[in-house]
Chains A and B, each alone.
Chain A
């Protein structure tokens, strides 16, 4: 295991142990994070699925600009927010995964704080 992978796993382990959000960023079809490749891939998969759900539902509601989406599922809270300061032609997204049920408001605020950092 490389030093980077070891470090990523420590980030993941520490986050899981303390119930802290693992943060990710995504744009132009790629995602990045500090908690390891698998965790980042998990976020990327969820990002695609949630975006698709948001678009499908939004079409029926007549709402189109998605600001954020969050899901609670079997002990995990996963979600993303669009970076309001990013170029609309090349939107950036930030999101997270946490291994507990977190109030959506608190989760979204944490992701926005991460965007603002």
Chain B
């Protein structure tokens, strides 16, 4: 998924229903955020989520989706393969729709990552093959010359 697609997709989610904030992170690294908080607060949020995930992992647990309802709004947290997607929304009744959309986004994101990796690996493989051919050519040119072979005049054009 290109950065433009990522921003566009999460931006669209941000505009859906009663959503008022989206945060996407991997571990303690923020990938996308449009939360209406200071960068420091967002960074703290990313750290808190990482701590929460670490706590669950420490207990050998693997939660996939968490939903929190507060007096001032609702927070949905979707966890997958070290990635965390937070969606803030006003209308609690939208939680299942948002969870479904968040899950679909993550699937697309992982598909994009897999294709990117496959592309890179394929490219690396092609380069390696080309390099091997060049080395072979160099080695062939450096073979000792047979002194008994007939001398062929070189034509310069």
Contacts and interface: CB of A to CB of B under 8 A. Distances in A.
Interface stretch (B62-70, B131-139, B143-151): B62-70
Interface residues of A, number: 27
A104 B93 CA distance: 9
B69 A105 contact: no
Q: Is the interface of B mostly helix, strand, loop or mixed?
A: mixed
A1 interface: no
A57 B88 CA distance: 12
A56 B52 contact: yes
A70 to B, nearest CB: 5
Interface string B24-59: 000000000000010001001100110110011000
Given A61-B75, A104-B99, A73 B61 contact: yes
Contact of A72 (B64, B70, B72, B88): B64
A54 interface: yes
A71 B52 CA distance: 13
B66 A53 contact: yes
A60 B61 contact: no
Given A73-B62, A74-B62, A105-B93, A65 B68 contact: no
Q: Is the interface of A mostly helix, strand, loop or mixed?
A: mixed
B137 to A, nearest CB: 56
A54 B68 contact: yes
Interface residues of B, number: 31
Interface of B: 37, 41, 44-45, 48-49, 51-52, 55-56, 61-73, 75, 77, 88, 92-93, 95-96, 99
B139 to A, nearest CB: 57
A66 B95 contact: no
Contacts of B67: 68-71, 79, 104
Given A69-B69, A73-B64, 17 more contacts: A53-B66, A53-B68, A57-B45, A58-B68, A60-B41, A61-B37, A61-B73, A63-B70, A66-B68, A67-B69, A68-B69, A70-B67, A72-B63, A72-B65, A73-B62, A79-B67, A105-B96
